[in-house]
Amino acid sequence: MLVADLLWKSFFREHDVLIKWLLLFAGACALYLWIKGKKQTKLDRDEAAKLKAERSKVVEPEVIVRCLHCSVHLPKSEAIQQEDRFYCSRDHLDSLDAQGWMGSAAWRISPNQDFRAEDLAPDLVVIHHISLPPGGFVDRSSTQFIVDFFQNKLDVSLHPYFQEIADQRVSSHFLISRSGEVYQFVSTQKKAWHAGVSSFFGREKCNDFSIGIELEGDSNHPFEDIQYSALAKLSAQLSAVYPTLQFAGHSDIAPGRKADPGIQFSWNKFQAKTGISLKKIPFGLDPR
């Protein structure tokens, strides 16, 4: 036994450094495995929590909306939205619906309207100009005043001119702002109050059979190119539904009483942009 003890002590003395490194390595391995185990446990716990959360989620159904033009139902994510309305295609957005409303226009319904005679479709477009206050669009945006005026909401305290027109009750089917935005106030199937006392080749009361389009502007300033483009597009959209439409100015149907759209409106540019037959512009292309 003494000899054996001596041999072991001699072995340990000769291999002391090696044994220490082996013990250190073993300790390091054990620590690594312990840390790895802790991490794996956390990953497993997180994954389990994630799976539990996903299983507990309530799947929200896709919102379904209705195309206002054709009434087809479709997911909201696939629809084209205009204000609070939805359309299934660009064609339906850019056309009149069955109630006489233009999908691409901003709808601002006016109370100033009447029913047309039964089965009487409009066959005339009357082009006007309007500015509130007069020339107000030159140095600031004043379109909203026109919108308010057609809806009987104009605050007359904001300008002296507004007090002069406070009792007037008028409207138009459409308004094209200086920036080219199109507003609609009255369905094309109904009468807007835009023409007043008027006559078109012997036919009195033009409101009965016409569509009124107001251009924001006056007789002293040229109209914007974007307004001509918007007017051309609108004219084509209307003509697609009412193919017999003719086009005239307010001054053509109420000569001496009205002067709009005025000398600044280019009938040549209008005709060039629309390609409308000259027969449908019976008062000609000369400025007036």
Active site residue 214: yes
Q: Which of 14, 214, 216, 224 is flagged as catalytic?
A: 214
- CA distance linking residue 197 with residue 187, whole number of Å: 21
DSSP string, the chain: -HHHHHHHHHHHHHTHHHHHHHHHHHHHHHHHHHHHHHHHHHHHHHHHHHHHHHHH---PPPPEEE-TTT--EEEGGGSEEETTEEESSHHHHTSB-TTS-BTTSEE---S-EEEPPTT----EEEEEEE-SSTTTTTTS--HHHHHHHHTT---GGG-HHHHHTTT-----SEEE-TT--EEE-S-TTEEES-S-S-EETTEE-GGGTEEEEEEE--TTSPPPHHHHHHHHHHHHHHHHH-TT-EEEEHHHHSBTTB--S-TTS-HHHHHHHH---GGGSTT-SS--
Show which residues are catalytic. 214
